[in-house]
Amino acid sequence: MVYYVQLIKGLLHPSNFSYQMEKAEEIRGLWKKVVFLILSSILISAIAGYYGVGLDILAKEITGIPQQELEAKKVIAGIGKVIWGAGFAAFVLFGWSIILWALMDLPYKKLVVIQLFVLIILLLEKAVLLPFNVSLGISSEFSPFGLGVMARYITSNMIVVYLLSHISIFKIWVIIFQYVCIKRMSEKNPKVIFILIVCVNLFFWLISTLLSYLKIESLI
């Protein structure tokens, strides 16, 4: 069976998609979709950089450095955002797939296809949050779609706040999508699959928490 990668249909109908992936002997259209989503990630990051989202360090320097030097730093920061966008997309598609491949023992290429849809969900989250970031100055840790706001009222520990902010409806969507698809394709016990998927996602949330806490993305 030949499977043609269809992003919208696969995202909206994960059960049908997982059935097709299970039966697929050949996958077509994968690399065009990979390039498209990487470029989409770069575009979203570039727009965020243009509006100064995540560039708090520069904001503190506005009154302390000459205008020419500030503009140069803005350009460098914008380039960093673009690199971050490309790296983020590539990691979700290929790095995440390697980990799942090692844990699930499924064909790597099929896992990359699954991660295409995961990347779409994560990019949707970034795109939906962008107007909040620009118009209201709300950072990702205080997203209305995550637990960061609630956590801020419970604790002043920013590491905990950052961690809980990564638990959003979009991240839950990612877990459900991965579980539905991989359960159909894998011979492992469904409970084991679910635990492994949650653990992998938690691992990435912890990494993102560390990056957010250290403001790594703002320094690129």
pLDDT in tens, 159-204: 888 888 888 999 999 999 999 999 988 889 999 999 999 999 999 8
DSSP state at residue 157: -
CA distance 113 to 115: 5
CA distance 27 to 200: 25
**pLDDT mean over 47-60:** 67
* Model confidence band, residue 124 (pLDDT cutoffs 50, 70, 90): very high
Q: Where are the domains of the chain?
A: 1-216
Please name which of 166, 169, 144, 164 lies closest in space to residue 154, comparing C-alpha atoms: 164
Q: Would you say the C-alpha torsion 84, 87, 90, 93 has a positive or negative sign?
A: negative
